[in-house]
Structure 1
Amino acid sequence: MTCPLGAGATPDADAPERAHTDFSRDLSYGDYLHLDELRAAHQPVTDAHDEHLFIAVHHVSEVWLSLIVRELQAAMKLLEAGITDAPLKMLTRVVRAQEQLTNAWEVLKTMTPADYLQFRHAFGQASGFQSQGYRMVEFLLGNRRPTMLRPHAHRPDLHSPLQDALHGPSVYDLTLKLLHARGLDVPAEVLDRDLTAKPTLNEAVLQAWLTVYRDPETYWDLYELAEKLLDVEDNFRRWRFNHLTTVERTIGFKPGSGGTSGVGYLRGALDTVLFPELWEVRTRL
């Protein structure tokens, strides 16, 4: 068969023939991403068609959660050092990753209740409630309860980082310290509060934010940071709402596999406000 390029011809610069194809000694795409291990982790325990979808959506979600944790921790380290510009990029990346997480529910919604019942019994008490990645995101954003550590007590490698996050400052705590460092009035009872306690609105902190929002030119970096944090919480709310509606349309008001009440528990979570002063400032302006 005659070579279409002719003997000794050199492929066009844009031709696929110019691509590197010998990976006997070089690192390939699959090797770099450890795709064999990734695919090997996809192990349904039944023959149900939709269990593949269920596992894929949760695998992908956990990868996005890992990225969100990494970006939040990096942003927090810089905020602690008083740096505000680079964290904005990291928080923007968090927001984009959150969008992917939320969109994953739309794929899972293609699974009907009858589809789910074909394999739900097979994974026992396993539940997204036990996701260490999701819990870490919650803790870093300031929604922390010591009881949420219990599902990870059997795994010190998972429990220890959560324990540290439980007792460490959240991204909002670090932001309030920045306000204080810039001369705004953030009271000691807020700066030295019990970090495991649920966020509650503080009037003095609200007044500090009102100062920022009424003079954004003077406090532009703090103003931008506040709006970016609102983006993060806004997307977090959307994720929780889509989680609620996906569960309700799939199992109705049955209890969750991990022992929670299911829809009732998820509905209660919608009332959580992570950055209360940043929401209230809109009313007071």
Structure 2
Amino acid sequence: MPDIQIPRVALNDGTTIPQLGLGVYKVADDEAERVVRIALDEGYRHIDTATLYGNEAGVGRAMRASGLDRDDVYLTTKVWNTEHGYDETLRAFDESLRLLDTDHVDLYLIHWPAASRDRYVETYRALETIRSEGRARSIGVSNFQVPHLERLLGETDVVPVVNQVEAHPWLPQRELRAFGDAHGIVTEAWSPLARGRILDDEVLLGIADRLGVSVAQVVIRWHLQHGLVVIPKSATASRIRSNLDVFGFELDDADLDAIAALESGQRTGSHPDDVD
């Protein structure tokens, strides 16, 4: 296996998370086993799945087949909106552990606030229980906006370690990142490549050409240099490998300024207020 040293980001509960990982959204269960095995063989040590993805079993099979110790792989999964509620979340977590065939996850997240259901606070209290039992080493949220975070901080005891949101140069999430920084919540980026749509951007193409790297590598490097945790998704071996090869170059100030000018607020996924 390649000896790649992926930086780790300190979390507010004393643990650390690999700054770069593999997301497996829209990867079928049988395909997930192959994809995750490739990633682990290439040196990835952070896998992000979710109940919604329907591939927890495949992820678990890949982790066991890899020959790696369980503690060598940082594993995240998430509770889906229909399982919000204290007891419902505990049951959903038990099912995730069964499918993953593990006795713990490293990070358990609320996938969306699903604010219209108004159950994310009690759902998070279930996460606090799971954490106290040692079955999730860390807990956090995904797709939470500032008002959701403010309520959670006011009504629960454990500060989330991360908030996983759509983030990329078009949508840098400055307000959310600033709020997270002020409260010790790390921002983690899903859809960091804007579902591939950003890869044709002329500014990014120019930077990539000058550095002799791919546009995807430029964008992933942008995330890393901004202190974000980033989980690009690919099912293609060459891209899985390429997305990890981002530690041999740096973006300079001029590059970062040029990329900052790309901010448009454009999303490639749903706005959290529209998901229930």
TM-score, normalised relative to structure 2: 0.28
Higher strand share: 2
TM-score (norm 1): 0.28
Higher normalized helix content (fraction of residues):
1
